Amino acid sequence: MLHAVDNVSFSINRGETLGIVGESGCGKSTLGRTLLHLHESTAGTLYFKGENITHINKRKLSTLRKEMQFIFQDPFSSLNPRFTVFQTLAEPLEIAGSYSKKETEEKVYAMMDTVGLAKRLVNTYPHELDGGRRQRIGIGRAMILEPEFIVCDEPVSALDVSIQAQIINLLLDMQEEKKLTYVFITHDLMVVKYISTKIMVMYLGEVVEFAPTEELFSATWHPYTKALLSAVPLPEVDARPQRIVLEGEVTSPIDPPECCRFCARCPYARERCRKEAPPLAEAAPGHMVKCHFVKEINFNKENTKEV
Ligand code: SF4
């Protein structure tokens, strides 16, 4: 049986951003989709504003959709190519059915202004626009019903670096104005550092480290997080940690063995790691780490492999 995500438990407060980071295939997108019922979970419980929403009917789900939205990685494939900007932004309002034609028009133009799309683009189609503008439409469409909770699945990874910062700043501005709650999924640690209140690092469907953002970057405990961090190209030479090279095969997510799932690649793996799965335990206040030897191993530069 394929276990995409196991034993993941967390809460997010209103106005916060939870960053979920990990390599592709680690289960972060599955987790994001599960939160919005775009992917059915086989176990576990979901609460939204104190209400158990694990098993809800279609009617309740469509009501919930107004409050919970998704921003996709690739706006080009998520936008209807036959819809103009106006039609794309107006559609959620029309489906909601509670807005007059005039209100819909006003809301569409107001949202175009909010996301930085010029009015002259109202009748253009996705293929006529660049990636940044297409993502602005994707964000506008997700936000037009004024949701409180938004899952952003790699929303900038398909964009040029110069555009990425603009889109992230747009998301941050909207969050500040509306006190929005984000789950921000990415493989890029520096992006989550910039945008997140707390960060969850996932490896092969499991959380391996979870901490407030500042804490995670000032005291990185898990060897996998350290390896991710060491691969980030930092401009300041002194700030660069020594590169940790991960060797070994990635364990199969199909019926994973009862051991540390990272043991085949971990430079600190010992016998116990191959026999027993470590618990996700508190290494410091609010800082959870999934490693048997988090206190014993000196995860310092001297112990890391250099390239
Ligand atoms: Fe590495 Fe062992 Fe810790 Fe797993 S439990 S991360 S293999 S030291």
Measured from the Cα of 268, ligand 1's closest atom is 8
pLDDT of residue 239: 57
279 CA distance to ligand 1 centroid (A)? 11
pLDDT of residue 251: 65
Residue nearest atom 3 in ligand 1 by C-alpha distance:
291
Q: Which residues of the chain have pLDDT under 50?
A: 1-3, 299-307
Residue nearest atom 6 in ligand 1 by C-alpha distance:
291
Determine contact, residues 123/86, Cβ cutoff 8 Å: yes
**Predicted TM-score of the model (pTM):** 0.86
Q: Cα 106 from chain centroid? A: 31
33 CA distance to ligand 1 centroid (A)? 29
Pocket test for ligand 1, best of 273, 297, 304 (most atoms within 8 A of CB): 273
pLDDT of residue 44: 78
pLDDT of residue 241: 63
152 CA distance to ligand 1 centroid (A)? 30
Please write the tens of the pLDDT for every residue from 224-241.
999 998 877 665 555 556
pLDDT of residue 197: 95
Q: What are the pocket residues of ligand 1 if the criterion is a CB atom closer than 6 Å to any ligand atom?
A: 223, 260, 262-263, 266, 268-269, 273, 278, 291-293
**Ordered domains of the chain (ranges, CATH):** 28-203 (3.40.50.300), 204-307 (no CATH)
Q: Is 77 exposed, middle or buried (0-12, 13-18, 19+ CB in 10 A)?
A: exposed
pLDDT of residue 5: 58
Beta strands 198-203 and 17-21: pairing type? parallel
Residue 20 has φ and ψ, to the nearest 5°, of -115, 120
How far from each other are the two terminal CA atoms of the chain, in whole angstroms?
37
* Helices and strands (H and E) in the chain: how many: 11, 10
Determine contact, residues 182/26, Cβ cutoff 8 Å: no
Pocket test for ligand 1, best of 204, 291, 295 (most atoms within 8 A of CB): 291
Measured from the Cα of 292, ligand 1's closest atom is 5
Give all strands (DSSP E) within 56-204, no chain letters.
Answer: 68-71, 149-153, 181-186, 198-203
57 CA distance to ligand 1 centroid (A)? 42
Pocket test for ligand 1, best of 202, 204, 263, 275 (most atoms within 8 A of CB): 263
